[in-house]
Amino acid sequence: MIIWLNGAFGAGKTTTAAELVQIVPKSTILDTEEVGIMLRHVRALPRLGDFQHWPPWRGLVVQTATHLLDYLGGLLVIPQTVLIEQYWTEIRTGLEKAGVPLHHFLLHTDQDTLTHRIETDAKGPGSKWRLDHLPEYHEALPWLRRQAQVVDSSALTPRRVAEIVAAKAAPMAAD
């Protein structure tokens, strides 16, 4: 099973994922951004500004997740922003075809809280980049709200967000 944590850049996906693997047995984080980093050395790939624009990234995410689940078992937690619906559909469809149960959560935070988190994140370089991409997130919200279970993390600790996600995913895992 996969729990995919989606949301704006700076919404707390990585922090929540770290909390989630502490409370859910046999869970492992898969940082799919590393798949994109792995592909950056391939000089023949066009320079498109974001590795998600490369179809091989989306296919490799599916393959990597599937192989890891086959090898490790348990649960994968993937904290990755995907704001283009077509890309999400490719990933979701690939995982469905592979028979991998997927539970998609949107960590949503009100604008003021999100901006504050980004601007005060001592660990997160690129706060200007994250702030510059907020309009893309807002444009994607309609389809994200349709495709994912929304968890409003504005006033919650990452631990509490992880507990909510785990509780919502548990009944789905039993199906």
Pick the CATH number of 2-174 from 3.10.20.30, 3.30.365.10, 3.40.50.300, 3.40.190.290: 3.40.50.300
Per the structure block, which two tokens stand in for 25?
């047995």
In angstroms, the CA 83 to CA 86 distance is: 9
Distance, CA of 105 to CA of 102 (rounded, Å): 10
Tell me the pTM: 0.91
Q: What are phi and psi of 65, to 5 degrees?
A: -60, -45
Query: Could you read off the pLDDT of 135-168 as tens digits, one per residue?
Result: 899 999 999 999 999 999 998 999 999 999 999 9
**Per this entry, what is the length of the chain?**
175
User: Residues 61-97: pLDDT tens digits?
Assistant: 999 999 999 999 999 999 999 999 999 999 999 999 9
Which strands sit side by side in the sheet containing 102-108, from one edge to the other? 27-29, 75-79, 2-7, 102-108, 149-152
- Domain boundaries defined on the chain: 2-174
